[in-house]
Amino acid sequence: EPEVTQTPSHQVTQMGQEVILRCVPISNHLYFYWYRQILGQKVEFLVSFYNNEISEKSEIFDDQFSVERPDGSNFTLKIRSTKLEDSAMYFCASSGGTGLINNEQFFGPGTRLTVL
């Protein structure tokens, strides 16, 4: 069964450093998302991406964040200068190709980001 994959599973970085979190969505999906979950809290939407551009972003997704689909298979989230409060589990998700309406999102296993 096709699945969303994410690398690395755990990333430790120093405050102020740049990190790139990588995702490979399901191959025929067209809609891509990043969510995050701070330990013990709810899953929060960060950004949605369709047709090579951001379709919606949350207040969390400030200028330090960016997303890219560089090669038609990978979908990346970059945090330019990490802060302590960026420590969280980051989930990538994708949904299918015929339109949003009936399509559930499939989530990857997540990348745990720890900012020291």
Partner 1 sequence: AQSVAQPEDQVNVAEGNPLTVKCTYSVSGNPYLFWYVQYPNRGLQFLLKYITGDNLVKGSYGFEAEFNKSQTSFHLKKPSALVSDSALYFCAVRGRSSGNTGKLIFGQGTTLQVKP
Residue 90 contacts partner 1 per CB under 8 A: no
Options 14-22, 60-68, 74-82, 97-105: segment touching partner 1 (CB under 8 A) = 97-105
Measured from the CB atom, the residue of 38 and 116 that comes closer to partner 1 is 38
Residue 75 contacts partner 1 per CB under 8 A: no
Residue 25 contacts partner 1 per CB under 8 A: no
Residue 102 contacts partner 1 per CB under 8 A: yes
CA atoms within 13 A on the CB side of 85: 3
DSSP letters, 49-91, are EETTEEEEE-TT--TTEEEE--SSS-EEEEESS--GGG-EEEE
Q: Which of 35, 44, 38 lies closest to 83 in space, CA to CA?
A: 38
Task: With CB under 8 A as the rule, give the number of residues binding partner 1.
Answer: 28
Question: Cα(5)–Cα(87) distance, rounded to whole angstroms?
Answer: 20
Residue 80 contacts partner 1 per CB under 8 A: no
Residue 50 contacts partner 1 per CB under 8 A: yes
Question: Cα(94)–Cα(113) distance, rounded to whole angstroms?
Answer: 20
Measured from the CB atom, the residue of 40 and 70 that comes closer to partner 1 is 40
Residue 107 contacts partner 1 per CB under 8 A: yes
Residue 56 contacts partner 1 per CB under 8 A: yes
